[in-house]
């Protein structure tokens, strides 16, 4: 395979965990010590997703050409294992045609429930790597990793860690592309499939793209490719070196768009939108509560749990939602955004106390809890001035250290003690991570 100059390509084609030390040394990235990254966009896409899940779960299919689909299911191949692909079969091909091209291939019926389950697992892993995850499909997402170097190291290291987590937790391989734009990250993740890791620093991206065929431009499909070739544009570099006015004249607005992509210009941000992660903690009580001061006791506990988890993950929250569930199981919520991002229990509890006054229902309530939402990276581990209250932040990080060393009972706030000098126990805590709308991964705590 032609190895293009400015990139790192790490690939193991056999089905085995990514052995980091086996990979060839990053070429250009090593040569140019620490290239500067204004933005880091990571694109991750599972390899032969449905087929890989079937091979994992049915050892007799491993190493064999398989097609996912059925004659009854729209009659098309949903995907083919990498063993079948050299025969020219793949997604969208009529099953009859695929069987003709690859007679040895075994047909496997899809099991969508299982694919959804694995998809949830990988999306949860993504959410641990970045608060800004844009899900594209069941097996594919963009992660904005800007500002995360102090947590994961160089971009190539981010990719290695993500691949290792996915493999360790699912037994499946994922290909990763990393660059300064969504476009180049996506082209890079497909560049060395399966089990690839390709890093293209932004300042090398145009050169890296230049030798790829024009059909690697977004928006250039089977119809446009021959049209571009007729005009003399075979490689992306041919588009990049042409005056944009000429392209516009020949192709209209798409010509301008191809020109920008060929120069590795793509201003689109990773849209976390509904995929943004939030952290929550609810408490279902053994005795219902009505009085604001009683509700606040429980909210304080939720605030402490959430803030510890925020700090442990180096996250800050831009918003807070308080949740109260009535005896009739109706859920009531009130929420607000913070003027500055927060990660302390103090900030969460002050906002919660404020929000509590906005509820127009008296109770009694059987569940109280809160959710910190619109999470973001804390830019620098010690960037204190970004917080409303630096003193509260250092006090709470000190408490984190004590709890890490001696366990959760080592420090108790005086206001949480009851008349007997003990912490009152009422109910069961449920901490959760919301990674997508309406979906929740719960962890009783
Ligand atoms: P893809 O990521 O496009 O394909 P893939 O994961 O099978 O293979 P690759 O290594 O090239 O990424 O799609 C993910 C899954 O979505 C795929 O396993 C099956 C399903 N799918 C369909 O059901 N219909 C389709 O047309 C395509 C393209 C995929
Ligand atoms: Mg895929």
User: Is residue 141, in this structure, part of any structural domain at all?
Assistant: no
Instruction: Let me know whether 219 and 283 are in one domain.
Output: no
d(CA 444, CA 429): 6
Question: Is residue 5 pLDDT above 70, yes or no?
Answer: no
Q: Which of 265-269, 402-406, 430-434 bottoms out in mean pLDDT, i.e. has the lowest?
A: 430-434
> Average pLDDT, stretch 69-84?
82
Q: Could you tell me if 284 and 258 lie in one domain?
A: no
Question: What is the reported pLDDT for 12?
Answer: 33
Q: How confident is the model at residue 427 (pLDDT cuts 50, 70, 90)?
A: low
Of 313, 395, 360, 287, the closest CA to residue 148 belongs to: 313
Say if CB 343 and CB 250 are below 8 A apart: no
Q: How confident is the model at residue 92 (pLDDT cuts 50, 70, 90)?
A: confident
Are the C-beta atoms of residues 211 and 234 closer than 8 Å to each other?
Answer: no
Average pLDDT, the chain: 82
Asked if residue 440 lies in contact with residue 432, where contact means CB atoms within 8 angstroms, the answer is: yes
Distance 213 CA to ligand 2 centre (A): 21
User: Is pLDDT above 60 for 11?
Assistant: no
- pLDDT-based confidence at 74, cuts 50/70/90? low
**pLDDT of 151 strictly over 70:** yes
- Quick check: 265 pLDDT over 70? yes
Q: Is the pLDDT of residue 434 over 90?
A: no
365-387 average pLDDT score: 71
CATH number at residue 82: 3.40.1170.60
The answer to whether residues 105 and 68 touch, using CB atoms and an 8 Å cutoff, is no
Q: CB under 8 Å to 245, separation ≥6 — which residues? A: none
pLDDT of 285 > 90? The answer is no
CATH code of the domain in which 247 resides = 1.10.150.20
Q: 315 with 390, same domain?
A: yes
pTM of structure: 0.66
What band does 379 get if pLDDT is binned at 50, 70 and 90? low
What is the atom index within ligand 1 of the atom nearest the CA of 82? 10
Q: Which ligand 1 atom is nearest residue 47's CA? A: 10
Asked if residue 155 is part of any domain, the answer here is: no
**184 vs 410, more confident:** 184
Main-chain dihedrals φ then ψ at residue 319, nearest 5 degrees = -150, 160
Domain final residue, candidates 237, 262, 287: 262
User: Among 49, 114, 190, which residue has the most ligand 1 atoms within 8 Å of its CB, making it the best to mutate?
Assistant: 49
Closest CA to 147 of 44, 38, 42: 38
What is the largest distance, in Å, between two alpha-carbon atoms of the chain? Answer: 86
Dist CA 430 CA 130 (whole Å)? 23
For the cut 90, the answer to whether the pLDDT of residue 49 exceeds it is yes
Average pLDDT value for residue range 89-100: 90
- Average pLDDT estimate for 393-407: 69
Residue 29 scores a pLDDT above 90: no
Asked whether residue 185 is domain-assigned, the answer is no
Residue 38 domain flag: no
Atom of ligand 1 nearest to the CA of 51: 18
| pLDDT (0 to 100) of residue 441 | 43
Compute the average pLDDT of residues 104-125.
91
User: Could you tell me if the CB of 343 is within 6 A of ligand 1?
Assistant: no
**Are residues 287 and 335 part of one domain?**
yes
- In terms of residue numbers, what domain contains 387? 278-440
Q: Mean pLDDT over residues 374-403, rounded?
A: 63
Q: Say what percent of the chain tops pLDDT 90.
A: 51
Question: Which ligand sits nearest to residue 91's alpha carbon?
Answer: 1
Is there a domain that residue 398 lies in? yes
Residue 362 lies in a domain: yes
Torsion of CA 214, 219, 221, 223, to 10 degrees: -100
- Residue 362 is part of a domain; what is its CATH number? 3.30.1490.100
Q: Is 139 touching ligand 1 by the criterion CB < 6 Å?
A: yes
Which residue in the block uniquely carries the two structure tokens 């999470």? 375
Same domain, 316 and 238: no
Residue predicted with more confidence, 120 or 163: 163
How many whole angstroms separate alpha carbon 65 and alpha carbon 302?
A: 51
What are the residues whose beta carbons fall under 8 Å from the beta carbon of 296, sequence distance 6 or more?
A: 349, 352, 353, 356
Residue 85 located in a structural domain? yes
Which residue's CA is minimally distant from atom 27 of ligand 1? 91
* CB distance 54 to ligand 1 below 6 Å: no
Together in a domain, 323 and 234: no
- The model's confidence at residue 424, banded by pLDDT at 50, 70 and 90, is low
426 and 286 in a common domain = yes
What SS3 string covers the chain?
CCCCCCCEEEECCCCCCCCHHHCCCCCHHHHCCCCCCCCCEEEEEECCHHHHHHHHHCHHHCCCCEEECCCCCCCECCEECCCCHHHCCCCCCEHHHHHHHCCCCEEECCCHHHHHHHHHHHHHHHHHHCCCEEEEECCEEEEECCCCHHHHCCHHHHHHHHHHHHHHHHCCCEEEEEECCHHHHHHHHHHCCCCEEEECCHHHHHHHHHCCEHHHCCCCCCCHHHHHHHCCCCEHHHHHCCCHHHHHHHHCHHHHHHHHHHCCCCCCCCCCHHHCCEEEEEEEEEEEECCHHHHHHHHHHHHHHHHHHHHHCCEEEEEEEEEEEECCCCEEEEEEEEEEEECCHHHHHHHHHHHHCCCCCCCCEEEEEEEEEEEEECCCCCCHHHCCCHHHHHHHHHHHHHHHHHCCCCCCCHHHECCCCCECCCCEEEEEEEEECCEEEEEEC
In a domain, 6, yes or no: no
- Does the pLDDT at position 357 exceed 60? yes
Which ligand neighbours the alpha carbon of 194 most closely?
1
Indicate whether 395 and 291 sit together in one domain. yes
Q: Are residues 297 and 254 in the same domain?
A: no
304 is catalytic: no
Residues 241 and 304 reside in one and the same domain: no
Q: Residue 382 above 80 pLDDT? A: no
| pLDDT value at residue 390 | 64
Say how many domains are in the chain: 3
Same domain, 238 and 301: no
* Substitution candidate for ligand 1 out of 79, 175, 188 with most atoms within 8 A of CB: 79
- Per-residue pLDDT band at 42 (split at 50, 70, 90): very high
User: Does 350 share its domain with 397?
Assistant: yes
- pLDDT category at 406 given cuts 50, 70, 90 is low
Q: Which of 79, 111, 143 is the last residue of a domain?
A: 111
């Amino acid at each position: 395979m032609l190895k293009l100059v400015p990139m790192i390509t790490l690939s193991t084609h056999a089905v085995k965990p990514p052995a980091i030390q086996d990979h060839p040394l990053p070429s250009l990235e090593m040569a140019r010590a620490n290239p500067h990254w204004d933005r880091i966009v990571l694109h991750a896409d599972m390899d032969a997703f449905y087929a890989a899940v079937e091979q994992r779960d049915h050892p007799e299919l491993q190493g064999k050409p398989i097609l996912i689909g059925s004659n009854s299911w729209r009659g098309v191949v949903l995907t083919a294992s990498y063993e079948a692909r050299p025969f020219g079969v793949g997604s969208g091909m009529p099953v009859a045609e695929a069987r003709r091209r690859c007679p040895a291939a075994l047909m496997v019926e899809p099991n969508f429930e299982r694919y959804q389950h694995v998809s949830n697992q990988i999306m949860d892993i993504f959410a641990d790597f970045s608060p800004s995850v844009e899900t594209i499909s069941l097996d594919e997402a963009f992660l904005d990793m800007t500002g995360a170097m102090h947590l994961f190291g160089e971009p190539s290291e981010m990719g290695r860690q993500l691949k290792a987590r996915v493999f360790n937790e699912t037994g499946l391989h994922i290909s990763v592309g990393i660059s300064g734009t969504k476009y180049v990250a996506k082209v890079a993740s497909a560049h060395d499939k399966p089990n690839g890791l390709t890093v293209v620093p932004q300042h090398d991206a145009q050169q890296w793209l230049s030798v790829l065929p024009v059909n690697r431009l977004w928006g250039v499909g089977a119809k446009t490719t021959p049209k571009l070739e007729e005009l003399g544009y075979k490689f992306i570099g041919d588009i990049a070196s042409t005056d944009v006015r000429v392209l516009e004249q020949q192709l209209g607005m798409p010509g301008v768009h191809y020109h920008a992509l060929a120069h590795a210009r793509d201003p689109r941000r990773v849209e976390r939108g509904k995929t943004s992660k939030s952290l929550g903690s609810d408490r279902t009580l053994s005795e219902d509560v009505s009085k604001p001061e009683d509700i606040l006791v429980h909210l304080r506990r939720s605030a402490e749990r959430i803030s510890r988890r925020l700090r442990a993950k180096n996250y800050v929250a831009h918003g807070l939602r308080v949740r109260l569930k009535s005896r009739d199981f109706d859920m009531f919520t009130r929420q607000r955004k913070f003027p500055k991002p927060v990660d302390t229990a103090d900030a969460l509890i002050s906002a919660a106390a404020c929000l509590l006054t906005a509820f127009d229902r008296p109770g009694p309530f059987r569940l109280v809890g809160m959710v910190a939402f619109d999470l973001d990276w804390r830019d620098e581990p010690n960037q204190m001035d970004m917080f409303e209250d630096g003193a509260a932040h250092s006090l709470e990080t000190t408490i984190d250290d004590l709890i890490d060393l001696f366990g959760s009972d080592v420090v108790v706030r005086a206001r949480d003690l009851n008349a007997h000098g003990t912490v009152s126990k009422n109910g069961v805590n449920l901490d959760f991570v919301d990674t997508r709308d309406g979906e929740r991964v719960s962890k009783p705590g």
